[in-house]
Structure 1
Amino acid sequence: MTAKVSVIGLGSMGLGMAQSLLRKGFSVTGADLNAEALKKLEAAGGSGFSSAAEAAREAEIVVVVVVNAAQAEAVLFGEKGAAAAMKKGGVVICSPTMSPDDARRLAAKAQAMGLYYLDAPISGGAGRAASGELTVMASGTAEAFAAARPALDAMAAKVYELGDAAGIGAAFKMVNQLLAGVHIAAACEAITFAAKLGLDLATVYKVISASAGNSWMFENRVPHILEGDYSPRSAIDIFTKDMGIVSDMGRKENFPLPVAATALQLFLMTAAAGMGRDDDASVARMIAKMTGIGLPGERS
């Protein structure tokens, strides 16, 4: 590959995506404020920059992997933004979780600057980002898909083409996040309930993982609780944001979301207890502290 791809945002997802692109032979630049992230990119064979504009200069494809719509707008269209620096006729692959309205607004700004825009939320976690096996829920014009396809194929195992306009991919991602947030909250409630009942938690995990009550989130997050390790793979603050977007969308559509609303309150309670930047399995710690029960690695 000779195409220049710039990845803006080199957190656990963005860095893995950049590494996957490098393995496929792309020329990859990246931007992040974290100097350690830039060093990791450079060690993998890419070039790191502190500003989005420097990283995106003459790039044909810019992949945005920041936290939210506000950050995406800033790195694309703000001072030293990527959009003005990248090659005209290039494509922005925008992956942050955001509302459909925000996705449509950013797409219009990109199109006004002569760029294609692909609304392309991602799922799969840091491990699949690093192995090039993400799921991408994408929507945009046929031209945007064509321009983005080589990079998508390098980063993802599954690319769902969900529609010809920005906002559709974002809506699909919010349905996913509703379920993800509810399942994390339910998994944390279940494992702390098991602790209250005096059950061996490792055995609970083994049994439930092979039973009808299992979920991907139970299977993925409960080991963090069993290990007493709440270093953030995905932080509580991410789900206060995402479930907040779900809540706002429900209110706009006059659609009740009672289960999602309860999960949002659990995430907010955990953040208010000082664990916002910790792993999202910290909902279990909050419940444990509130009810006075002990978890591995935690004082009762």
Structure 2
Amino acid sequence: MRVGIIGIGNMGLAMALNLRERGVDVTVRDLRDGPERIARTAGATVAASPAELAAAVDVVITVVGTGAETREVLLGADGVATADGAGRVVIICSTIAPDDVIACAGHLARASWQTLDAPISGGPARARAGSMSMMLGGDPALIASLAPLLAMLGEPRFVIGPHPGDGAKAKLVNNLLAAVNLAAAGEAFALAERLGLDAKTVLDVVCASSGQSWIAADRIPRALAGDFAPRAHARILTKDIGLALDCARGVGQPATLGVAAQAVFARTCALGWAEEDDAAVLKACRQPDTT
């Protein structure tokens, strides 16, 4: 199976390197030379455009940042849909609005492409190891046919529903909760510091007690160490909160804590840390809010 990956940032590049290590024929496309050079060194082929990549592979995986970027690489003038998709598949791994997934799947179907909605979670280290979580929305027969590839990419894998868009909805529910937990952790550890406590000792307490959350246990240790190198940019989770809140408004579901978390992340970005790791919410919580 020949696999193409469009968007080789933190997650996409890790996925490409994982597949190459397992002997998969991989073609990549990105707007930046650096990640493409790394992928080429690992044995991947670099395509000049999404259309060129699509013509050379059996499965296209998109891991770009936004719905607009996903539409462009799939449906644009030089996009995947310009190639005949008969017998071939697009896997959308980006966290984007369910409506964007549904729209892309519809357009791709007109060019004979099948679409699997498969947002991912877990960070670059898990993507590199093939152990990231995957939330799958698509035809059960399609999912079954892709089982060997999906097994190389992620574990656990959750079949959310039979339609593209189902996976995106589940991912946004997850990311809303992750954002609320991380914003709360930033606030709690800023308070611990202001109270004169040793934050690392408090972290040990929290991780062994009822305040524990996966995202706090993952992010707060490096934040306390002053390590804000981006594994997941603050702007990305900020975007995801907005998408989740849009979904909530669309079905009339209150999301009071989500709105509060959105404000914390928006402030983190406004203070200049949008391109840092989302653990930078701790820095924002340390700053007095003068608004």
Q: Shorter-normalised TM-score: what interval?
A: over 0.9
Pair 1:80-2:58 in alignment: no
What residue is the counterpart of 2:199 in the other structure? 201
Give the drift of 1:85.
3.1
Structure-2 separation of matches of 1:14 and 1:86 = 24
Give the drift of 1:87.
4.5
Q: Determine which of 250, 266, 269 is the counterpart of 1:268.
A: 266
Gaps of 5+ in 2: none
The answer (yes or no) to whether the contact 2:29–2:50 under 8 Å persists in 1 is yes
Structure-1 separation of matches of 2:109 and 2:127 = 27
* Paired residue secondary structure (1:83): helix
The answer (yes or no) to whether the contact 1:58–1:85 under 8 Å persists in 2 is no
Alignment TM-score, normalising by the size of structure 1: 0.93
Aligned residues: 290
What residue is the counterpart of 2:90 in the other structure? 92
Q: Determine which of 25, 28, 31 is the counterpart of 1:27.
A: 25
The answer (yes or no) to whether the contact 2:117–2:137 under 8 Å persists in 1 is yes
Give the drift of 1:99.
1.8
**Once the two structures are aligned, what percentage of the paired residues are identical?**
38
187-196 vs 76-85, greater mean Cα deviation: 76-85
Alignment TM-score, normalising by the size of structure 2: 0.95
What residue is the counterpart of 2:170 in the other structure? 172
Structure-2 separation of matches of 1:59 and 1:143 = 20
The answer (yes or no) to whether the contact 2:28–2:36 under 8 Å persists in 1 is yes
The answer (yes or no) to whether the contact 1:11–1:37 under 8 Å persists in 2 is yes
* Paired residue secondary structure (2:116): strand
Name the amino acid aligned to 1:36: G
* Paired residue secondary structure (2:221): helix
1:36-47 correspondence to structure 2 within 5 Å:
36-47=34-45
Q: Using a 3 Å threshold, how does the CA distance of structure 1 residues 291 and 70 change in structure 2: closer, same or farther?
A: closer
84-93 vs 16-25, greater mean Cα deviation: 84-93
Structure-1 separation of matches of 2:84 and 2:43 = 21
Give the drift of 1:135.
1.1
What residue is the counterpart of 2:56 in the other structure? 58
Q: Determine which of 112, 115, 120 is the counterpart of 2:113.
A: 115
Structure-2 separation of matches of 1:276 and 1:14 = 20
Give the drift of 1:86.
5.9
Runs of 4 or more above 4 Å deviation = none
* Paired residue secondary structure (2:279): helix
Pair 1:217-2:221 in alignment: no
Give the drift of 1:58.
2.9
The answer (yes or no) to whether the contact 2:83–2:111 under 8 Å persists in 1 is no
Structure-2 separation of matches of 1:121 and 1:153 = 14
Q: Using a 3 Å threshold, how does the CA distance of structure 1 residues 291 and 249 change in structure 2: closer, same or farther?
A: closer
Gaps of 5+ in 1: 293-300
Name the amino acid aligned to 1:207: V
